[in-house]
Structure 1
Amino acid sequence: MLTEAHGDDTARRSISRIPVIALVTVSALYVACLLLGDLARFDAAVVWLGITAELSAVAVCIFAVLRTRRSQWQVVFGAAAVTVYTAGDAYYLSALNGQHSLSVVSAADVAYFAFYPLMLGALVVTVRKLKGLTWPLLLDSIVGALAAASVMAMILAPVLQAGAGSSTTFEMVVVVIYPVLDLLLISTIGGLMTSRGLDLGPRWPLLVAGLMLFAIADIAYALGTQDYIAGSVIDAGWILGVVAIALWIDGVARAGAVLRHHDRGMPAVTMLMVSTGSAVSVLLIGCQVPIAPLAQALAALTLLLAAAPLLFRNRLLVALATTDDLTGLPNRRGLIRDLRGRLGGRRSGALFFLDLDRFKDVNDALGHDVGDALLVQVGERFARPLTSNDLLARLGGDEFAVFLDGVSLEEALRVARRLEAELAEPVQIGTASLKISVSIGIALTPENGTDIHLLMRKADIAMFRAKSSRSGHHLYSSMDDDGGARKLRMLQELRAALVEGQFELHYQPKVHLPDDAVTSVEALIRWNHPVLGQLPPTSFLPLAEEAGLMPELSTLVLEAAVAQVSRWRADGLIISVAVNLSQSCIQHGLPRQVRTLLTQHHLPPECLMLEITEDMLMGDPAHSAKILAQLRADGIRISIDDFGTGYSSLAYLRDLPADELKLDRSFITAMRSDRRAGGLVGSIIDLAHSLDLRVVAEGVDNAETLLELRALGCDLAQGFHFAKPLPAALVVPWITGHTPVAAVTSATG
């Protein structure tokens, strides 16, 4: 059945091309006959070949309308314009009765005039989805058309006056108005091009070319009205213009929806500058030599209307500066602007800061397109429980803000719970069903202040408290300022550090105790703070975990470590690297992320080990075991870090997919002073070996502890006794100069 459907679709497409092929063929014959004949005299064959080309254009348009099932109004309007114009030409030819031409104005002009509003309708339908831009674009078009008309009136007026003796004033107006209407359509297209928001379809140059041919033919007709003969070269402009517009319509129908956003286009002021420059030129020429009063009036009107789009553009710039592009909600500037009139005195209110929990996981696992669609739907859900008097804004990223005007504490808390409840149901994005939650910080006015920035800071502190405590929402209190402001400032600096790349990795060698070989290192992050200097991970990782930044930090470490291993291997150093991951990183997308990263750097899976702390594994052992099993199936090795500090370790050890146990440094440090600590370490080593797990001792700081670990059968060790964490540039020199401890011990013994 699929084969039959595909065959039917191919057949329909083949049939739909027949009118286009016929149109191109007839048009080519028409041009050939026109060039081979006399360009200035009546030729019946050329005339009827021309009308045949127009009828073929009508057929193409009808097929386009049927293809889109009349759902694209720009196709419908464009097809109607071509059909009406062709009907006018058909009437004109049928009314000739052997004459070379009809009078200047005939019944055919009714159809010709109808062509312009229909084409203008096709363009207006195209721009109507650009909210707030339709009138500015139309004004730009009118200004452009008036400027062109003023130039045309200045040039054509003398010629038209010379022929005025044989034509009425009405006939002259009709003759002149056609080029003006052509230029109006061309100016409208110019306005669309400058909008930087629309694509008129894959064949838009044909539309422009068609209207240009119309304008050239109409100007030529105006200049030689008395000498016009049906079938002359002037007709070619109109006929080929109709053909070009029909082919544009066919292209729009085949491409689907015409409204597609793009970033390239002419500068927005280009057409306005050309229009006003033309009008000023006409007025300056009028100051030097006599020109038609109509030209001067049109130029003055052009300059008058040119000021109107500037007003619209100013409003548009203000709207863009205070509106979030993705959701259409006010942004941070818009929120501050709207809050200014609502704070002050004893007027009550509540400001909410809302931050989505683990939103980055959605972006990493499913892509930014899904993340953007999620933000749009979340914004719509947040709007449901709010009244028309409340404010909702998107501050950036996954942060939103709500301001409730004139509410009490109880009402504010009630709205906060309703906002949380809006995300109780999963959000459906395509085939993905996403479960998301939100942390809400609440600051009240006037209790917590009436200054906008102070209130926003306190709402941010409260939101941070809600996120760190996972309480859903938190009401700001003076107790939150106990270190809260410092933590908030540190958090802001941490976010800036992620953007600016202030982190680097150091690597601590892991020594294989049986032969003292160094085949692996552990990657440890350092923060090069611009003021405080280099900070160890203990000074900022807990804050990053509270703020939900650990997935981003872990991704940074993972990518940098894998890239470094790739460089080492390219230089001939075969070494693996261990990377620490937090529980928030153990998500469904992790195996795919790791596979992609290794593939990009052409590395085997055994060059990477992931270290996960024991307590994090215990948080959700079933989920963790599933993800880790997928990683191990791909060849990635797993190490359980800080082993012995968690709960129920032995109960889960058998089922957790792991290759290595890493003894917590507290056991190793205690071995020198506590005999029982040594016995416990020995027991853990024996237990691990019985489960086919290697054991790593971290925090080895002296030779005595190292000798005891060797005696107990420990597999690997790391610590200051061997080396501190080293910058990447010092790892190779250290490994090259590494002297086996066993050799030193035997030499001194």
Structure 2
Amino acid sequence: MRTKRPRDAEGTAARVRGAERPLRIVRVLAVLFAGTWAAGLAAGALGATGIGALLASSGKLVFFVGLVAILVVRGFGAREDRGSWWLLAGAVASYFAGALAFEMYYRFLPVAPRPSWSDLGYMAFYPLAFAALLVMLRTRLRRLTAATWLDCLVTGLTAAAFAAAVALGALVRETDGALGAILAGVAYPIADLLLLSLLAGGLVVIGRGAGASWWWLAGGVALFVVTDTVYSYQVVHGLYTVGGPLDVAWSGAFLCLGLAACQRGRSGTATGLEGRLAIVVPGVCALAAVGLLFWGYLRGGDPIAGVLALGAVLAALARTGLTFRDVRALADSRRQARTDELTGLPNRRSVFEALQAANGRLRAGESVAVLVLDLDRFKEINDSLGHAVGDALLRQVGPRLARELRSEDVLARLGGDEFVVLASDLDDADAGALAKRLLTQLRQPFRVGSMTLTVDASVGVAIGPEHSVTAEELLQLADLAMYSAKAGRGGVAVYDDERDGSGRHRLEAVEQLRAGISGGQLVLHYQPKLALGTGEVEGVEALVRWEHPTRGLVYPDQFIELAESAGLMASLTTRVVELALAQCRSWADQGRWLTVAVNVSPSNLVDEQFPGEVARLLAAHDLPSGVLTLEVTESILMEDRDRAVGVLTRLRDAGVGVSIDDYGTGYSSLAYLATLPVTELKLDRAFVGEMAGSPRAESIVTSTLQLAHAMGLSFVAEGVEDQGTLDTLTFLGCDVVQGYHVSRPLPPEQLWAWLSERASEELAVL
């Protein structure tokens, strides 16, 4: 059976095609204008005259026009980098203006003036290119912190300082003549230094993964830097000739810009250099800048290089200051994350870190004692005297307990009025004696303001490896023992498996169920729902089972209460919905469409994210929302009615069906029924099963059915166990029935066989 293509997939494909169209145009233009550029280079290299010379000069100009067009078109197809491409197009257009002035006028003069109007066009290229690269760099970073800027500045200034020391200083010293000629001779390499600083600094913060476009642009600009430096040297020494290798190198730089425009957009955000490399690169640059300053001091180096190196060193010092500040802040945040804000004791996170360390001692054969201490009737203090008094009391508990502990023992606050002690090298007698000493300390009066308070406590003790070989489980067992101490009012209780084992086994069962939910141990059986109007099975109810690895198939009455008390119902329900929809998709692919009903827990009905999760699962399996019905009980709706109604309304607005399950056994109020966004009433089996022998039960069924139809709701009767009940419901006009008389809940493959056999029998009757 052919499935429909999801709308969001079609929209995504359309957006991709829309983004690819300008890129295809760019590539076509690139081929055309690159051919013109190649023809111009060939004509110039062969020393052509007449038409050939015209082609050599005009071919270059046509190439520039084409490159501007390529960059403009590329900008239309790049949402994030649009400004960068258009700034770069402006830079190339400015350079083209300078080249056009040279070809139309200055080429034919015996001696070209320095500077000229062509230089104005050429120089305007730099600020626009700088802005284009800066914008492109900015869009590739999640955020630019002060440390990131300083890393960029250190690296960029160091690269510029070395470039100045190698080439720029010599150019400044050797340039003579008018001020304009001097400026024209050094302006290009100075501008190139700025671009080089941006490229070198950007390399530190952008790292890999910024996309091929960035690297082609960087390569083109780097080639520009080298070419301009050589050009300035040749101009100063009178060696530059038009049409020589430098013109080819400049053309190659612009060709790199065109190739950058032909690349696809980047797939992700650049993350910069990571790990040690993020520290090493700026650090090496700072050391190199210091070395350059020292070399200049000894040999009288270039002043421009010295200024740039000094700037790099100052930026490195500022970066060091930020690093110290960040390290101190990190240390403070780590300390705060592991410290209880109220008492100053280690908190729950620190406890579990200490438990992990204790596991090593347990594996080595050492003993570890865990004591869980809980103040008795602390809630009464809070309720009668206020939370301020309760907090003041808790702040005094830590120092009291610490008096009886060794320096290597761990004392922490688990939360509320519950504290924990981890101590090594204690046997049963030692641990019991320590617990009694702790109680003695707490039973001494506390002074809180003008009041004197006396409190008591209960302590649970568990010792490893006697009671468990893991410290985490020792904490659980000590907690169980503490509740036994509180129930027996004995003050101290050491874990006893006969007394506390049921709680331990319950904890184990919770962990097994948690693993079962996430580990694929839940399976669904499906009970058919027969539509009496058509005689067809049009839907099923999904009923969860737990395929336990040792206990076999476990029915919900043995684990649903456990899931609810352990807070696992939300994840269990979501998993059931996912399995049910996957099965619906499988049936649909085989040519049979069935609706599915799933029971919803209270935690789902108060979860604002649940409607979005249901929508995501429906879309993931390419199913219409009407295929799913969520069944809720009346008692669930009464727990947090406003929030539940809000969640159900969002589900109903999305097209998901809503059914009131076990109707008649809870708070059957017509007032709330009238306002609920429901599509179905499902009468409890207690009324359906008694119809044959109870006129009152039959009256309840009849009146409820009429009520449902009057409100425009579908009526479902569950618990149909015999043909007489089915016939009566058919006569009354019931919409849907389910029960053992129709079919028991079946695994998917057995349900498919049952449906196929039923269809064959109907054909045989016809």
**Computing the radius of gyration over CA atoms, which structure comes out larger, 1 or 2?**
2
